[in-house]
Amino acid sequence: MKNERGITLVELIAALAIIGIITVVIASVLMTGTSSADRTSSKQQMQQEANYIVEVIRAEYLKKENNEIKIKVNNAEEKLIINNKVISQGYKYTIEEPEESDEENTFSIDPNENVKFEMVLIDGVNKPFPINTTFSKLR
């Protein structure tokens, strides 16, 4: 019998091929998981921003009696301004106007009426996040 020491070239190539396939599968799973986590994080951040915007508008709506709430969109600076106070920045904002406004990119909400509010937040990668709600007081 011959002395069989070491491994053959065929065995070495087969082992490298198996290790390569396993590495590609693991890398693919990690990339998919990372991508999914980024999407989820971005969506959650936009949801929190939308909730904050709605709550600020709601608070203003509930405490105002006769004065209109002025909402101004400044997409050049990526800011949302309510009654001359910046409440959100870092997104592009599109608001469906409840009524025609005298000023460009300025929208008014009358606290004496029920108001349907529709807005879209757009993040840095142009993913839209719609906000649809109605502000009303019991009368």
Q: Work out the mean pLDDT of the chain and round it to a whole number.
A: 84
On the question of pLDDT at 24 being above 90, the answer is yes
Find the mean pLDDT for residues 27-40.
Answer: 93
pLDDT tens readout for residues 90-137: 888 888 765 555 566 777 777 777 888 888 888 877 788 898 888 877
* 120 and 93 Cβ atoms separated by less than 8 Å: yes
Q: How confident is the model at residue 26 (pLDDT cuts 50, 70, 90)?
A: very high
Q: Where are the beta strands (DSSP E) in 8-105?
A: 69-74, 79-82, 85-89, 92-96
Measured CA to CA, the distance from residue 88 to residue 57 in angstroms comes to: 12
On the question of pLDDT at 8 being above 80, the answer is yes
DSSP assignment of 62-74: HH-SSSPEEEEEE
Q: Where are the beta strands (DSSP E) in the chain?
A: 69-74, 79-82, 85-89, 92-96, 106-109, 115-122, 128-135
Burial class (CB in 10 A: 0-12, 13-18, 19+), 41: exposed
pLDDT tens readout for residues 61-76: 877 666 778 888 888 8
Bridge partners (DSSP) of residue 81 are: 72, 86
- Please tell me the predicted confidence (pLDDT) of residue 96: 74
CA distances from 12 to 4, 7, 17 (A): 15, 7, 9
- Please tell me the predicted confidence (pLDDT) of residue 39: 86
Output the six-digit token pair for 25.
Answer: 């599968």
